[in-house]
Amino acid sequence: RKEVEQDPGPFNVPEGATVAFNCTYSNSASQSFFWYRQDCRKEPKLLMSVYSSGNEDGRFTAQLNRASQYISLLIRDSKLSDSATYLCVVTKNGNAGKSTFGDGTTLTVKP
């Protein structure tokens, strides 16, 4: 079993739809959690950190469930520009070298 698992998709949704991605992790010692966005043939860019209390940034909401060891990303009112691959990242014990990336979930938003 991979340390960090994501549904690869692809998720194909119409503009304006709400879409949610989940990411599960296997190590209960994990401390920091992030969502990154990666456009085709580009570098990953930090989208948001994920906190125990949940956090929201505009149309994006991230949640952490430590008991079930998963994080989620909810995108409301999808835009064409949201089309990308979303990477889940889990870091253990605050150690710089212990970040594990998921393989990513691909989202395509269609007109």
Partner 1 sequence: NAGVTQTPKFQVLKTGQSMTLQCAQDMNHNSMYWYRQDPGMGLRLIYYSASEGTTDKGEVPNGYNVSRLNKREFSLRLESAAPSQTSVYFCASSDLVAFGAFFGQGTRLTVV
We find the least distance from the C-beta atom of residue 78 to partner 1, in angstroms, to be: 23
Distance CA 13, CA 86 (A): 15
For partner 1, give the closer residue by CB, 10 or 16. 10
For partner 1, give the closer residue by CB, 3 or 13. 3
Alpha-carbon 54 to chain mean position = 13
**Which parts of this chain interact with partner 1 (CB under 8 A)?**
4, 8, 31-32, 34, 36, 42-46, 49, 87, 89, 91, 94-97, 99-104
For partner 1, give the closer residue by CB, 43 or 111. 43
Q: What are phi and psi of 10, to 5 degrees?
A: -80, 150
Number of helices (H) and strands (E) in the chain: give both, helices first. 0, 11
Distance CA 86, CA 10 (A): 11
We find the least distance from the C-beta atom of residue 34 to partner 1, in angstroms, to be: 5
We find the least distance from the C-beta atom of residue 98 to partner 1, in angstroms, to be: 8
